[in-house]
Structure 1
Amino acid sequence: MTYTWTIQLFAGLSDRFGSPIIHIETDTPSVTVSELKQLLAAKFPEQADLVRISFVACNQTYASDDTIIQASDELAVLPPVSGGEPEENEDTPDCTSADGRYVITKHPLTSDEVLAKVIVPEHGASIAFVGTTREWTQGQRTIRLEYEAYAPMAVRTMEQIGEELAQRWPGTLTAISHRIGVVDIAETSVVIAVSSPHRDACYDASRYAIERLKQIVPIWKKEIWEDGSEWKGHQQGSPWNPIQSLSN
């Protein structure tokens, strides 16, 4: 019997592989993540080095090399940094958590809208971190940014960040919204809102949240310059391992 595996690709990998979704076939219904990488490297030898440094997500969760995965699982290959052009789709729907506090969207963001999700009568303090596209970085002029996300997994990991904040700073309430697609200079790409009974927890929790977002949420940005472009991934130094970051 032959089993067909469907694998999603992100952050420009679709150009490198020639499709946003690839399929492979095996004669067994399960393999380890390491074995899946070997199969991909064998089928796409020109991308073997890229496969080796990429990560695999199984059912919207990072999977270690020894994790056993099934052909029926939702699978994705997630590179820390890649190349190629993002696929434009103006009809991409928002991806939102069940409670509405965690959102991936192509639409403009406002801090007031995100803050409104965490302001409750029992809390006396709230804060919003707003990330915007800056024009100059280390002497290089940015024209715009283009964001891509594994949206359902991004929402799921943003929910995890909210849960971590509630454990570390009891009583805090969190909401996170992140743009995908083109984000022009001075436009908002991310808003993180935190509220709590007292202000000290807001400051500390907000800083923790943006650092965790960079560590574990599968969102990539492509910097478009006057003379070129480059995908930026985690920017957490090397080596980077989101699987280890999940347990920090």
Structure 2
Amino acid sequence: MNLSVQLFAGVAEAVGSRLWAGQLPEGARVADLFAELAKQHPQAEAVLRISFASVNQQFAAPDTVLTATDEIAILPPVSGGQDLPFEITEQPLSADAVLAKVRNPLCGAINVFVGTVRELTQGKRTVFLEYEAYAPMAVKMMEQIAAEIEEKWPGTRVAMSHRIGKLEIEDAAVVIAVATPHRAASYEAGRYAIERLKEIVPIWKKEIWEDGTEWMGHQQGPWNPLRPGTERTE
């Protein structure tokens, strides 16, 4: 089927056009469109990772089936997107910036977790890491985690930023901030947030060692992202 897709801002700039016209098989989905765009325009892959599709002027999930008559657009983050509470980014992370997203007059405590790249893992020396994410879904899963936290610890504000791409030793890979009315909840909610992120957010890292490489995904035992959120006690 023939598709006509409107492109905006950074996506249009990276592709070099405000309109993409091409063919996809019948039954193709939004994810297929993004894959085809990235294949044809690899220079646009970075901005496509943080963009969303609009189908008939409604945000569309990656599995949305497309038709030739749909009005389709690819939308990069809107202005002010840097202040969104959940993000996947190739830019260096700032703990202060993530903290600023959750602080408010009603909070009595803010817990900030910063996960960094360490040099030694089980005796192996890491040279650097490469992170990859399914960005649109990763953001949605972060939103789900925040909803779970709000249910368990009412009044909590959550912000999460995860970096992708190549990271050097000591670089921050993830920053999570939780603001709660009371101190104890900030510790509990902060730990819950990072553990759930490891369980359900589609982010992978490639360990580059002195003597080899390995993709690392879920590291908490058998992977079951459909498991209902439970508070960890270990």
Normalised-by-shorter TM-score class: 0.5 to 0.7
For residues 196 and 202 of structure 2, the distance between their equivalents in structure 1, rounded to whole angstroms, comes to 11
Deviation of 1:109 after TM superposition, in Å, equals 0.6
Instruction: Name the counterpart of 2:137.
Output: 153
SS of 1:242's partner is: coil
Q: Secondary structure at the match of 2:102?
A: coil
* TM-score (normalised: structure 2): 0.66
How many angstroms apart in 2 are the aligned matches of 1:98 and 1:179? 13
| Residues in 2 aligned to 1:98 and 1:161: alpha-carbon distance in whole angstroms | 20
RMSD: 2.9
Asked if 2 retains the 8 angstrom alpha-carbon contact of 1:118 and 1:175, the reply is yes
Match of 2:167 among 183, 186, 197: 183
TM-score (norm 1): 0.63
What secondary structure does 1:224 align onto? strand
Matched residue count: 175
Match of 1:59 in 2: 61
Q: State yes or no: 1:102 paired with 2:104.
A: no
Deviation digits for residues 26-79 of structure 1 (CA, Å, limit 9, x no counterpart): xxxxxxxxxxxxxxxxxxxxxxxxxxxxxxxx935xxxxxxxx77439xxxxxx
State the match for 1:47 in structure 2. none
What is the deviation of 1:6?
4.9
Task: Give structure 2 stretches of 5+ with no counterpart.
Answer: 2-24, 40-59, 68-75
- Indicate whether 1:3 and 2:19 are aligned: no
Does the residue aligned with 1:163 lie in a helix, a strand or coil?
Answer: helix
Where does residue 30 of structure 1 map in the other structure? none
- Give the letter for the 2:109 counterpart: A
Cα distance in 1, alignment partners of residues 207 and 195 from structure 2: 20
Partner of 2:55 in structure 1? Answer: none
Instruction: Output aligned runs, 1:109-124, within 5 Å.
Output: 109-124=93-108
- Aligned partner of 2:66 in structure 1 is 72
Give % identity. 55
1:128 to 109, 112, 133: 112
Matched residue, 2:224: 241
* Residue pair 1:104, 1:155 contacting (<8 A) in 2 also: yes
In structure 2, C-alpha distance between the alignment counterparts of 1:97 and 1:156, rounded to whole Å: 15
